[in-house]
A = this chain, B = another copy of it.
Amino acid sequence: MFEESVIRKAESVKASSGVLYNCTAAQKNTLLKALNKRLLSETPAIIAANKIDLANAEKAGISKVLLDRLALNEKRIQQMIDGVKDVIKLPDPVGKVFDKIRRPNGLVVEKMRVPLGAIGIIYEARPNVTIDASVLCLKSGNAVLLRGGSEALYSNKALVEIIKLALKDVKLPSGCVEFIDTPDRQAVVVMLKQDKYLDVIIPRGSQQLIRYIQENSSVPVIAHGEGNCHVFVDSSANLKNAGDIVFNAKVQRPSVCNAAEKLLVHERIAAEFLPKVAARLRQAGVEIRGDETAISILPEIKRADESDWYKEYLDLIIAVKVVKNITEAIHHINHFGSHHSDAIVTGTKSNGERFLREVDSAAVYVNASTRFTDGYEFGLGAEIGISTQKLHARGPMGLVELTSTKFIVHGKGQVRK
């Protein structure tokens, strides 16, 4: 029964994507402005719907942290509105023509940027994603099929209703945004098989959710993987900078994917650097683990075992390894890392360039914190997620990453010999 409903919605999104495909930037911005008007005027309805979710969540005994993530109030709805305003200001990537080649037979071959088409978004608790993700998809000319977490069901339904009102206000098809409201997990399974209608699925949530989707989807997936991020402090590093970067990368927000989980230190400066940085980290409540050499310098720390080097703690824990040189550091990062974000702190230009070239991660840094891996910080203006796969998009994904291209060819009657 819900199977039919999911398929019908996927079909509706696909059909509506044809209309969005040909919308101008002005039309799309008019839609987003209408959405903001509606978000403002319907704020009480959103908060009322959110109250139902909060009450259900409390009954289900959900943690305070998750309750806070779920909660919507006037301030948070204003933040959504501000976010939509930011997207209105961003340039529309669709329609750009580039990579022109004139062939010997006179054909002119170019590429044109076009919407991906129909995008599936599967996400968990936070209801603001309903607006954030929809707005990025719509601005880049894509229709979107949403599947949110069951905890936020009523909030999400209210927000989607508001998007549909805005679509109606500007006479665009209501199917540009559809929402799967069946709490049954099987609805996701059905969604993953709609490759006839969906061009891509972007999952946002736990590693288990993402893993499940990758393994079961016949629709192409852009996945956001783990962040086991490293900072390597080279022998020529400015140790003041190094300390600041390690501290920032570990402590500023330990629960996110671009936080540092590992510290590699060149053996020549380990004895000088480690005690200082360890004191600072410990003051911030960070648990330090280390290899044998690190322990010889910091005797009070716990021994890191093999599994530590692979782990994304997402917590105030860091593992320290003393390495012989940059070669060992690069090998360690490429072998044990998750290819998300890794940094070198060095005073040697050639070592910086080598690190950038040889470390195979979505974002690689010289003398800066790994915490900058983010669409806003990289100047993309917005972010639908951070891809850790190599296909289509790698690193923070903005509007351009929600588009595809097509070849456009101008001829004068040419035929193939």
Contact = CB atoms under 8 A, between A and B. Distances in A.
Contacts of A416: 248, 252, 369, 371-372, 377
B358 A21 contact: yes
Copies in the complex: 2
Given A244-B415, A372-B416, A404-B391, A409 B365 contact: yes
A407 B379 contact: no
Residue picked from A103, A252, A368, most chain B C-beta under 10 Å: A368
Given A368-B413, A409-B364, A412-B367, A109 B21 contact: no
A363 interface: yes
Contact of A392 (B22, B114, B345, B391): B391
Interface in A222-250: 222, 238, 240-241, 244-245, 247-249
B241 A413 contact: yes
Interface string A247-276: 111001000000000000000000000000
Contact of A112 (B218, B220, B357, B404): B357
Interface residues of A, number: 72
Nearest to A117: B390
Interface string A395-417: 11000000011111111111110
Contact of A107 (B345, B368, B395): B368
B413 A200 contact: no
Given A21-B360, A367-B412, 17 more contacts: A22-B357, A95-B357, A103-B378, A107-B372, A116-B390, A199-B389, A220-B391, A252-B415, A345-B413, A364-B408, A367-B410, A367-B411, A368-B409, A369-B416, A377-B416, A390-B404, A391-B391
14 contacts: A101-B379, A103-B378, A116-B390, A215-B218, A245-B413, A248-B415, A361-B406, A363-B406, A365-B411, A368-B409, A372-B416, A377-B416, A391-B392, A394-B407
